[in-house]
Structure 1
Amino acid sequence: MDSSIEDAGALAPETGVAAEAEPVAVVAPGGAPAAEAEASGVVTGAPGVVTGAPGVVTGASGPGADGGVAVRPPAAPTSLSPSRAGDFMQCPLLYRFRVIDRLPEKPSEAATRGTLVHAVLERLFDAPAVERTAPRAKSLIPGQWDRLRENRPEIGELFADDPDGERLARWLGEAERLVERWFTLEDPARLEPAERELFVEAELDSGLRLRGIIDRVDVAPTGEVRIVDYKTGKAPRPEYAEGALFQMKFYALVVWRLKNVVPRRLQLVYLGSGDVLTYDPVPADLERVERKLLALWEAIRQATETGEWRPRPTKLCGWCDHRAHCPEFGGTPPPYPLPVRAPGSLPVEQGRMGPD
């Protein structure tokens, strides 16, 4: 890749993903963790999210009576994120449980550790470049862990059966090792990200709204864009690399449609194995992704209107929280909470399946 992006000390200040006056998105700090915000389609804690898509303003969900985030009633999906697209491709019924039924899921140690590590890497860039060291990063872990537990009390369940704190200590130690490994893959002293934890949203000509949260955006003085995503797991085998890059191409498509700039590089940083996977997209790549997403959205639209969400059993079913509701395991899904279109009636406008 060009030295203008590899030598991140020369990267532009926080001006957005391209050298233009308007930013891709403006998000108030202190929002929900990335995975939580992406799943719900809003950024919690912000008074509003203004994106680069003309005329699109998404308000943040407000607190409920108990001080927590208000639970939205069931509604037809109106947008697509990389995570939810992955859910539908993995199992349409899982998509329904998560997006339409909004069934609760127990927090997992692996996912929570990933959220913690992401928070640490984001906050490290608040410090001057010379202070972005591994000891400084590790020192952030206790405070970020306390903040995470405060924002998401359900996480306390993870270590409820650990009175001596031994399992928690091992878990935090693994988070420290993941943070340390990052310093063998990138040098944060030479990085000045244009954006961190950036919420982006774009509406395609079809009406399909794409949204997601990008871990880091680097912008060179020449305007070249690098999109970076941290993964706390291990890098996939080469035959599965394309699937791993789907999320990054999704983000690249959103940036392209918003700013008319094709990112120069997509970069996945695997802290679990110490690998870095990169890909340099071209417009033809992103056009193929757009066609795939449109076909996927059409399948979601049809399932939403008919109420037919077929389970797709795989070896991943063993980790699913919803087996008690899944017919493949003898369960019964909850009553479908949306109206079902009668056979022969006209479908709703493609890309807009319900009120925003």
Structure 2
Amino acid sequence: MSALRNQHLSYSRLSRFEACPLSYRLHYLDKHTAEPGVPLNFGKALHAVLERLLQEVIDTEYAGPLSEERALQLYREAWATSGLCGLSLFQQGLGILQDFVRQQGHVDCRDILAVEKEFRLPVGPFTVLGFIDRVDWVDDETVHVMDYKSNHQLFTREELDASLQLSLYALAARRLWPWAKRVRLSMWMLRHGVLQETTRAEEQLDAALAYVETLGQQMEKAESFPARLNPNCVYCDHRRQCPTYARALTGQREVVCRDTGDLESVARERQEVAHLAKILGARKAELEGVLRAHLAEQDELVLAGTRYRMFNTTSLDYPLEPTVEVLARATGLSREELVERLASVEKKALDALLKDAGKRLGTARVALLKAELESLAAKHHSPRFWAKEVA
């Protein structure tokens, strides 16, 4: 094992090499200092709180509801050492943790098999090292492996079923709890309060092992480590040291379609432009943040021939009952006619109400309620362009 470039593999190493070989080299081989962004630090802070909160349940052999007060105390401690700042972000994290505590309901230490469980999985000449956020006992033949995610967007079914991370966790769980005939796998989407669940068939696990060994060999034999421009470049903790990212910030492109009849060329340029747009959009937001901070102290800035100001936009929301009453008097239409023509329930407001109701009704009742309401909803369809990179 000492002859190997990687003393061990991990999902993080594998996924970084897949996404961008240069990022992998800078991080693991050259050992450059990482500059993790806000999303990564925010996720780490939440993970730290949940790990300690549930580890205390195990250590004290506790059974009962989790404590919101204790979660807040742990969150303050994690926040203080995270380097994060901003009231809005703090409130987001606090809300996520409060929802998690309420969603848990009654917990029992006997049902939590492990928290932040380390595993070492032999794969050919390699050892895959990893940590599982949480494993619960379900019954005498089943364990439930969970990974906490603070992503804004939910995973698609395709992404969930193809996740290498969950495949590795399934293999690890089999070794750690050999009595378990079934392994349930979930991404716990903290922002949404949703567990996205999947399973793995035997052939999927065999394919995952073969893929990890193949990728490991590629990492060992690689002599060049090209940068691979992709939408996640804006989150990369080594983007400041990447010449490709630096060129992207200037808008430089390598692919220009000369013949729009060549669809392959069209697609290649479109993909590069999409990556650049995300990178430049993130940089624009970063620069605007600096200007906003200065505009909080003065009315306007005039810089590089451009005038900058902060201003308020106005939107109008008409209260239902008074509006219907005024219209009924003016038009002679009945209340029922006016409500049918004007009134609808905004989805975000409805979701927020159902989320609050879930604290009293329970998740099962709310799920049924959502299904009933969705059957009443008017569905509108419009064509949208979709693109996803394939291996």
Q: Which residue of 2 aligns with 1:301?
A: 220
CA–CA distance in 1 between the matches of 2:181 and 2:220? 29
Please give the alpha-carbon distance, in whole angstroms, between the structure 2 residues aligned to 1:110 and 1:324: 17
| 1:116 aligns to 2:52 (yes or no) | no
Is 2:235 the counterpart of 1:319? yes
Q: Considering only CA atoms, is the larger Rg found in Structure 1 or Structure 2? A: 2
Give CA-to-partner distance per residue, 1:254-296, whole Å, 9 cap, x none. Answer: 3335655565201111012232111122322211111111111
After TM superposition, the structure 1 stretch with the greater mean CA deviation from structure 2, 179-188 or 276-285, is: 179-188
Cα distance change, pair 129–137 in 1 and its aligned pair in 2 (3 A): farther
Letter of the 2:14 partner, please give it.
A
What is the CA-CA distance between 1:170 and the residue it aligns to? 2.7
Q: Are 2:146 and 1:217 equivalent residues in the alignment?
A: no
Contact 1:255 1:262 (C-alpha < 8 Å) held by counterparts? no
Contact 2:8 2:126 (C-alpha < 8 Å) held by counterparts: yes
Q: Deviations over 1:75-133 (max 9, x none)?
A: 92121111111111111111111111111122322222212211222222314322413
Distance (Å, rounded) in 1 between the aligned partners of 2:48 and 2:240: 33
Q: Does 1:129 align with 2:78?
A: no
Q: Which runs of 5+ in 1 are unaligned?
A: 1-55, 57-74, 150-154, 160-166, 332-356
For the 8 Å contact 2:173–2:183, the answer to whether it is kept is no
Task: Give the whole-Å Cα distance in 2 for the aligned partners of 1:144 and 1:102.
Answer: 26
SS at match of 1:225: strand
Which contiguous aligned blocks of 4+ residues in structure 1 show a shift greater than 4 angstroms?
257-263
Q: TM-score, normalised by structure 1?
A: 0.60
Letter in 1 for 2:230: T
* CA displacement 1:221-258 (0-9 Å, x = unmatched): 51422111111113123443345x32111111233356
* Alignment map for 1:119-158 (pairs within 5 Å): 119-125=48-54, 126-127=56-57, 128-146=62-80, 149=81, 155-156=82-83, 158=84
Equivalent residue number for residue 12 of structure 2: 83
Equivalent residue letter for 2:17: F
Specify which of 246, 264, 269 is matched with residue 164 of structure 2.
246
In the alignment, the residues of structure 2 paired with residue 217 and residue 171 of structure 1 have an alpha-carbon distance, to the nearest angstrom, of: 28
- Write the mapping of 1:130-209 to structure 2, written as runs, cut at 5 A: 130-146=64-80, 149=81, 155-156=82-83, 158-159=84-85, 167=86, 169-183=87-101, 185-187=103-105, 189-190=107-108, 192-204=111-123, 206-209=124-127
- What is the correspondence of 1:37-56 to structure 2 with a 5 Å cutoff? none
**Aligned partner (choices 77, 99, 105) of residue 28 of structure 2:** 99
> For structure 1, which segment, 191-200 or 123-132, has the greater mean C-alpha deviation from structure 2 after superposition?
123-132
Secondary structure in structure 2 of the residue aligned to 1:77: coil
Change (3 A) 1:221 1:277: closer
Residue of structure 1 equivalent to 2:389: none
* Residues in 2 aligned to 1:257 and 1:207: alpha-carbon distance in whole angstroms: 18
- On the 8 A contact 2:112/2:135 being kept in 1, the answer is yes
Separation of aligned partners in 2, 1:230 and 1:195: 14
Mapped pair 1:266 → 2:266: no
Q: By how many angstroms is 1:177 displaced?
A: 0.9
Calculate the aligned-residue CA RMSD, in Å.
Answer: 2.6
Aligned to 2:361: none
Quick one: percent identity of the two aligned structures?
25
How far apart are the structure 1 equivalents of 2:116 and 2:239?
A: 32
Structure 2: gaps spanning 5 or more residues? 248-391
Indicate if the aligned counterparts of 1:141 and 1:176 stay in contact, CA closer than 8 A: yes
Task: Work out whether 1:229 is the aligned partner of 2:147.
Answer: yes
Q: Distance between the aligned counterparts of 1:121 and 1:258, measured in 2? A: 22
Partners in 2 of 1:258 and 1:123 — Cα distance? 22
Q: Aligned residue for 1:59?
A: none
Q: Distance in 2 between matches of 1:330 and 1:115?
A: 27
Count the aligned residue pairs: 237
TM-score (normalised: structure 2): 0.55
Are 1:185 and 1:275, in contact at CA under 8 Å, matched by a contact in 2? no
8 Å CA contact 2:66–2:101 kept in 1: the answer is no
Cα deviation 1:169-220 (Å, max 9, x = unaligned): 332221111112224544352563111111111223x211111010011134
Counterpart code for 1:311: A
Summarize the Cα distance change of 1:207–1:174 in structure 2 as closer, same or farther, 3 Å threshold.
same
Aligned-partner Cα distance in 2 for 1:259–1:131: 27
